[in-house]
Amino acid sequence: MAWSEGRERDKWIGRGGEALDRALLEQAISRVRDRGWSLVLRSDAQVRFEGAVARLPLTGATGDLASDVTEAARALSLEGYEPAEIEPAATYDVRIITAPVFGEDSQPALLLSLYQLPRQLSGATVEQYRNRLMTAAERVTARLGGCTPTAT
């Protein structure tokens, strides 16, 4: 969503409902777009949400399972989810780092992700992982004939 514009982005944000802090989400989206990658820190609510989604079948989800996902999603908070800064000396419990691979239209075609990293990483180590991931995403974008969007 970070590279979407206007109505498409507004529609996506609107699906979060009233419980969602729209300003906080807008800040996170802008931050991801500006820096070109995303970092999600581990939280109990986030782990519960991923577990609820993982239990959903590809088709024919029961009301109970869908309800579990909805309840887990409502418990999510954006506070600390996508930190604004990475301090090299600080410690982070990273859930996932992602970077987009862009297609010919300068829109994300897929995401490369680093998942299940060691716990309690220093900010300097997080930056090393991020740099390697960004290099890989740039290479895959080039190999696919994609175009990284220019800053606006």
> Looking at residue 18, what is its pLDDT?
64
Residues 117, 92 contacting (CB under 8 angstroms): no
Query: Could you give the CA distance from residue 59 to residue 115 in angstroms, rounded to a whole number?
Result: 25
For every residue of 79-146, DSSP letters joined together read: TTTS-S---TTSEE-EEEEEEEEE-TTSSEEEEEEEESPPSSEEHHHHHHHHHHHHHHHHHHHHHTT-
Neighbours of 49 (CB within 10 A): 19
Neighbours of 93 (CB within 10 A): 12
pTM (whole model) above 0.85: no
Those residues with Cβ within 8 angstroms of residue 90's Cβ, 6 or more apart along the chain or in another chain: 122, 123
Model confidence pLDDT, tens digit, residues 92-129: 999 899 999 999 999 899 999 998 999 899 999 999 99
Model confidence pLDDT, tens digit, residues 48-73: 877 887 877 776 767 777 777 777 77
Query: Could you give the CA distance from residue 28 to residue 30 in angstroms, rounded to a whole number?
Result: 5
16-20, 29-33, 53-57, 77-81: least confidently modelled range = 16-20
Query: Could you give the CA distance from residue 9 to residue 139 in angstroms, rounded to a whole number?
Result: 27
Tell me how far CA of residue 29 lies from CA of 9, 21, 35, 50, 117, in angstroms. 10, 12, 10, 20, 23
Kindly compute the dihedral angle of the four CA atoms of residues 77, 78, 80, 86, in this order, to the nearest 10 degrees. 160
**Between 10 and 143, where is the model more confident?**
143
